[in-house]
């Protein structure tokens, strides 16, 4: 798989606190949301570093959570969606390291996109797809996200709905607050 976008690792230095540091921590404790975010993070991490072990980590997570058969169904959807993001995404794709208890803008938009597909929320899905992809490829991204979303539902993993207002608020941010700015890794083409 090739990614046609630049990928940026993002990390935080305040992750050592023992209490909840971000409302996303509770959200990420849900199995469906964790599969989406951790799959995205580890898959992109492998792509960014040119190391296929990121995909192995993602596959192990899906297999352990869903069993070999269900894991394969959902994991294939993840691969298709990340492949579509690689062709369609606005550069750069951003994500936190797997051990972070936070969500960055792109991770939040991705969750909104998948949840919108699962709940038939076209408005939220359109907002998220437009924020994540170039205008000419929104449909392609939406189709791959819908495939992934339905695969997750088929194996019993449904995300919580995300409102159109929250998604629009995320879409307005550019994802590069001063504490989140990091030097970019080489562009993957």
Query: Binning pLDDT at 50, 70 and 90, where does residue 90 land?
Result: low
In whole angstroms, what is the distance from residue 136 CA to residue 121 CA? 21
pLDDT at 50: 64
Mean pLDDT lowest among 9-13, 33-37, 75-79, 163-167: 9-13
User: Tokens 């939406």, residue?
Assistant: 142
Neighbours of 153 (CB within 10 A): 17
**Residue bearing the bigger pLDDT, 41 or 13:** 41
pLDDT at 163: 94
Each residue of 137-165: pLDDT tens digit? Answer: 889 999 999 999 999 999 999 999 999 99
Q: Is the pLDDT of residue 171 over 50?
A: yes
What share of the chain has pLDDT > 70, as a percent?
A: 72
In whole angstroms, what is the distance from residue 74 CA to residue 37 CA? 13
Measured CA to CA in angstroms, residue 3 lies from 43, 50, 68, 79, 119 at distances of 11, 11, 27, 12, 28
Q: What is the pTM of this model?
A: 0.79
pLDDT at 169: 92
Average pLDDT value for residue range 86-111: 77
Contacts of 124 (CB under 8 A, 6+ apart): 112, 113, 115, 116, 161, 162, 163, 164, 167
H/E segment holding residue 139: helix 138-154
In whole angstroms, what is the distance from residue 152 CA to residue 144 CA? 12
Mean of all residue pLDDT scores within the chain: 79
**Residue bearing the bigger pLDDT, 147 or 14:** 147
pLDDT at 97: 67
pLDDT at 145: 96
**Residue bearing the bigger pLDDT, 109 or 46:** 109
pLDDT at 13: 36
H/E segment holding residue 56: helix 53-88
Query: Binning pLDDT at 50, 70 and 90, where does residue 181 land?
Result: very low
């Amino acid at each position: 798989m090739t990614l046609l976008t630049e990928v940026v690792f993002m990390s935080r230095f305040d992750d050592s606190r023992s209490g909840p540091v971000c409302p996303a921590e509770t959200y990420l404790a849900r199995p469906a949301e964790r599969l989406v975010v951790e799959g995205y993070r580890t898959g992109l991490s492998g792509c960014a570093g040119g190391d296929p072990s990121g995909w192995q980590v993602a596959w192990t997570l899906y297999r352990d959570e869903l069993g070999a058969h269900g894991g394969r169904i959902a994991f294939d959807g993840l691969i298709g969606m990340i492949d579509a993001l690689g062709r369609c995404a606005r550069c750069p794709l951003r994500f936190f390291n797997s051990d972070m208890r936070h969500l960055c803008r792109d991770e939040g938009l991705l969750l909104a996109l998948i949840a919108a597909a699962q709940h038939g929320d076209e408005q939220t899905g359109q907002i998220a797809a437009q924020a994540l992809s170039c205008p000419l490829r929104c449909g392609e991204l939406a189709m791959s996200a819908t495939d992934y979303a339905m695969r997750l539902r088929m194996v019993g993993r449904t995300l919580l709905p995300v409102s159109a207002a929250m998604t629009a608020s995320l879409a307005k941010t550019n994802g590069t607050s001063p504490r989140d700015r990091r030097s970019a890794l080489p562009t993957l083409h």
